[in-house]
């Protein structure tokens, strides 16, 4: 499956790719409560019971092990079955070859600056292993910035006053349900410079 979009910018800093459920209302959630679907133990209860990442197990209070996705389903990004993914800009691949699921996860950590952070401070505890990342939290972020100490600068990809054609190419395999529908979304993080001139005249340099 391919997703295309066009960006006009003199500093394209990041491309953020994720999936949105196609028919899930904002109010539907997996939080514990009488009006929620798939209601179960709260995140804190399962986490405190030491059942993170376990497929079975109960506590004296009847708390059972399970997924620790404790958020509105509107924010769910399900990429189950994704085998590889790549991004091209103006028909030029950003990586030498399509990245597999674990490489996508690693690339996202690099873009967020959390590659070497501790699990307790840098990553949501419910994202216990790669399967949880693909099922609930999938995000593929590619950074085009030149991150350095010192003065601020526009360091993203310069489109040179022309359109940047972005192509997200995904390959799915394995046991993918044909009843699951999602909308692929590509966010473009760009840098703009706002100049405040005399008489409060504002100019945005794109």
Q: Is residue 76 part of a domain?
A: no
Domain assignment present for residue 108? The answer is yes
Query: How many whole angstroms separate alpha carbon 45 and alpha carbon 43?
Result: 5
| Domain assignment of residue 186, yes or no | yes
| Number of domain units in the chain | 1
Give the span between the Cα atoms of 66 and 47, in whole angstroms.
10
- Whether 57 is covered by a domain: the verdict is no
Q: Are 155 and 193 in contact, with CB atoms under 8 Å apart?
A: no
Residue range 82-87: mean pLDDT, rounded: 91
Q: Are strands 182-190 and 92-93 parallel, antiparallel or unpaired?
A: unpaired
Q: Residue 48: inside a domain, yes or no?
A: no
- CB within 8 Å of 13: residues ≥ 6 apart: 143, 144, 145, 155, 156, 189, 190, 191
Tell me the residue range of the domain where 90 lies.
2-21+81-113+130-205
Residue-wise pLDDT tens digits, 12-52 = 889 999 988 777 655 555 555 444 555 556 666 666 766 55
Q: Within a domain: residue 43?
A: no
3-state SS, residue 189 = strand
In a domain, 60, yes or no: no
pTM, two decimals, is 0.74
- Smallest CA-to-CA distance from 187 within 169, 206, 168 is with 168
Report the residue count for the chain.
206
DSSP string, 2-71: EEEEEE--S-EEEEEEEEEESS--TT-B-SSSTTSTT--S-HHHHHHTT-TT-SS-B-TT--B------S
Q: For residue 59, tell me if it sits in a domain.
A: no
At 94-133, the pLDDT tens digits run 888 999 988 999 888 888 876 555 555 667 777 777 888 8
């Amino acid at each position: 499956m391919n997703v295309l979009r066009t960006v006009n910018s003199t500093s394209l800093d990041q491309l953020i790719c994720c999936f949105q459920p196609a028919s899930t209302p904002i109010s539907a959630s997996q939080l514990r409560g009488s009006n929620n679907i798939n209601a179960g133990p709260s995140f804190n209860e399962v986490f405190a019971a030491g059942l993170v990442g376990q497929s079975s197990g109960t506590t004296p209070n009847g708390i059972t092990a399970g997924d620790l996705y404790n958020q509105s389903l509107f924010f769910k990004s399900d990429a189950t079955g994704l085998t590889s993914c790549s991004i091209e800009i103006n028909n030029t691949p950003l990586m030498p070859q399509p990245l597999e699921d674990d490489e996508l996860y690693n690339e996202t950590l690099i873009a967020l600056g959390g590659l070497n952070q501790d699990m307790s401070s840098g990553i949501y505890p419910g994202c216990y292993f790669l399967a949880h990342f693909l099922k609930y939290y999938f995000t593929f972020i590619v950074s085009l910035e030149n991150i350095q100490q010192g003065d601020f600068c526009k360091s993203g990809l310069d489109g040179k006053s022309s359109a940047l054609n972005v192509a997200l190419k995904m390959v799915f395999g394995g046991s993918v349900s044909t009843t699951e529908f999602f909308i692929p979304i590509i966010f473009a993080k760009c840098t703009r410079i706002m100049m405040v001139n005399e008489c409060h005249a504002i100019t945005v340099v794109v």
